Amino acid sequence: MAQLLNIIKETKKTANQILVEFVESEKLLWPLAAANYNGLKSVEEKQFQFDGFQIKVQFNPERMRSSAAKVDKQSIAARKCFLCSENRPAEQDAIAFGNQFLILVNPFPIFKNHFTISCNSHIDQRFIANVQYLLELAQSMEGFTVFYNGPECGASAPDHLHFQEGESSFMPVTTEFGLLKSSARQLYSVAETQVWAFDNYLRKMISVETNSMEEALKIIGIYYTHFQKMQPEKMEPMMNALCSFSDGKWTIHLFPRKLHRPRQFFAEGNDQLLISPASVDFGGVFITPRKEDFDKITKEDIEDIFKQVSLNKDTFQELTEKIGQDLNGM
C-alpha cells in the first residue's frame, strides 16, 4: 500500500493535490461515495452573526448516521467495527501514513474532501497517547485541518482510534482566530510559541500557535493533566481538538467540555434538535441531519447548546489559570 510521504516525494505533488485526486478516484469506483459527494452540491447552509464571529448551520442528511450514533458499550459490542479493515467496503481504498494509520475517504462527507484517518489496530479512542500523530498528520497535510473527537464528544467509533480531516477554509474558526486572538487572554508568550484562552466565543477554547512540536506536546500535556484532574471519573477528559499547519507553524484549538449531547437532542416533538456537537460544530459549523432542525434552529438555540456542552466560566477560569501558572513556570 502506497505511503503518503512516498507519493509526495515520487510525484513532486503536494499532499493537497494527492488527496483531492484520491477523492476523485474513489468517486469513480465507489457509488456510495460518488452519490454523497455529489449530494454536497445541494447541501443547504445558513449563517448566524455574533459579536465578531459567525456560526454556520449546514443541513446534511447523510450525517444522520454520525449525529445519531449509539455509542454506549452495549451498542458498540453489538456491531462490527466499521473502521477495521475486514469490515470496510471493498471499494474503500486507503493511503498509508506511517505504520500506524490509513487515510480513508469518508463516504459521509461534510467537507468537499473529507477523510477519516484510521489506526491499523483496533484500540480505543484516546487523545494524549496519540497527540503526536495529530501534529504529524497536520504537518504533512498543509491546507487541511485534522481533528479529534473524544470518545464521549462526537466520535461515532469510540472503540477504534481515528482522526478526521477536511479543508481548513471550511470552518470559520480558521479565519476568526487571527482576528479574535488580540482580545483573548494570553496565557503564555515566548518567541516561538503563544497560548490564548477564549472566554467569549460561545464555546470555551484554548489555542496554541507554535513552530515547535516539543513545545506543542508540553503545552497539550499540561492542559490534559489539569483537565483530567477536574474530570477524574472520565476515561479521558471530555474534549475536541482541531490542528492545522501553515507557514511552519501549528495552530491547535482545544475545546474542553462537560457534556456530550444537549437536552435538545433527547427532547421530543417540536422541542427536539437532533444535534450532537463534535469538532466541526466547535469549529463553527453546526451539522443538522434533519431539515426540520435546520429550518427552526435559532441563534438562541446555538448559544444554549454551547452553554450546555462547554465548560462554565468559573471552571474554565480555574483550568486556564493553572495552565498559565505551569507554562510561565517552565
Q: What is the CATH number of domain 4-328?
A: 3.30.428.70
pLDDT tens digits, residue range 125-144?
999 999 999 999 999 999 99
Share of the chain above pLDDT 90, in %: 90
Are the C-beta atoms of 240 and 282 separated by less than 8 Å?
yes
For the chain, the average pLDDT equals 94
- The enclosing H or E element of 65 equals helix 64-67
Mean pLDDT computed over 307-312: 97
- Which tens digits make up the pLDDT trace of 223-239? 999 999 999 999 999 99
Q: What are the cell numbers at 142? A: 498543509
Identify the band that residue 62 occupies on the pLDDT scale cut at 50, 70 and 90: confident
Burial of 66 (0-12, 13-18, 19+ CB in 10 A): buried
Q: What is the mean pLDDT of residues 109-128?
A: 96
pLDDT at 280: 97
> Domain residues of the chain, as ranges?
4-328
Residue identified by cell 500523530 is: 133
Distance CA 324, CA 174 (A): 24
In whole angstroms, what is the distance from residue 152 CA to residue 118 CA?
18
The stretch 294-311 carries a mean pLDDT of 97
pLDDT of residue 61: 85
Work out the percent of the chain whose per-residue pLDDT is above 70: 97
List own/partner pairs for 16-19 with CB under 8 A and 24 or more apart.
16/141, 16/142, 16/143, 16/144, 18/95, 19/95, 19/103, 19/113, 19/115, 19/141, 19/144
68: pLDDT strictly greater than 60: no
The pLDDT tens digits for 174-233 are 999 999 998 999 999 999 999 999 999 999 999 999 999 999 999 999 999 999 999 999
